[in-house]
Amino acid sequence: MRTLALWLISILGIFFNLNAFIYFEQASIKNRDYLINFAVESNDIYKTRTAHRDTAKKIFDISEESFISNMVFILKHNAEILGFFALKPKNAYECELTHLFVKAGLQNKSYGSLLFSKCLETVDSLGFLKLFWISDPDSANFYFKKGSRIIGYDENFLNPKVDVPLFEFDLSKSKT
């Protein structure tokens, strides 16, 4: 009986260690440089970037407006940053997802799903009806499974040989 109790405690301990301290917080402008480097390192896993690292940092820059508008969110486990996303309003009804990155090596562990769900929840709570973004072609299936669709393609400044898909998520349709 004691062995069963110890086993149960260890299982619960593992569960709570992994999940109880995962949370979101709004990023501040002081996180900007760190998050830009985080995005570049996360993008490295695709091994498709032909642009120099300095060019990638410029492409992955996060606007000051996004920080001022409280539209940059960090996913953390204790003090470790697991991922982040940033939003930018396009107009009164549409919003752009400018960044969604999971820490290199932590992909396919549901952190991207947590980030995207929080992103949709934030966009919805702010009253936007549509969300748009471009993404690495290797991430397309992830976004399809979440209910988004490709509405076009855009030039890829990280690798001019491969266009990137332009996605849309229609929040008005997800409410019906």
pTM attached to this predicted model: 0.85
3-state secondary structure of 174: helix
Supply the Cα-derived Rg of the chain in whole angstroms: 18
**Domain 23-174, classified CATH 3.40.630.30, yes or no:** yes
Render each residue's pLDDT in the chain as its tens digit; 176 residues. Answer: 434 433 444 444 444 555 558 999 999 999 999 999 999 999 887 777 888 999 999 999 999 999 999 999 999 999 899 999 999 999 999 999 999 999 999 988 999 999 999 999 999 999 999 999 999 888 899 999 999 999 999 998 888 888 999 999 999 987 65
130 residue type, one letter: K
Calculate the CA 27 to chain-centre distance: 13
Single out the residue of 96, 95, 28 nearest to residue 68, CA to CA.
28
Taking a C-beta distance cutoff of 8 angstroms, is the pair 82, 38 a contact?
no
DSSP track, 31-67: GHHHHHHHHHHHHGGG----S-HHHHHHHT---HHHH
Taking a C-beta distance cutoff of 8 angstroms, is the pair 35, 27 a contact?
yes
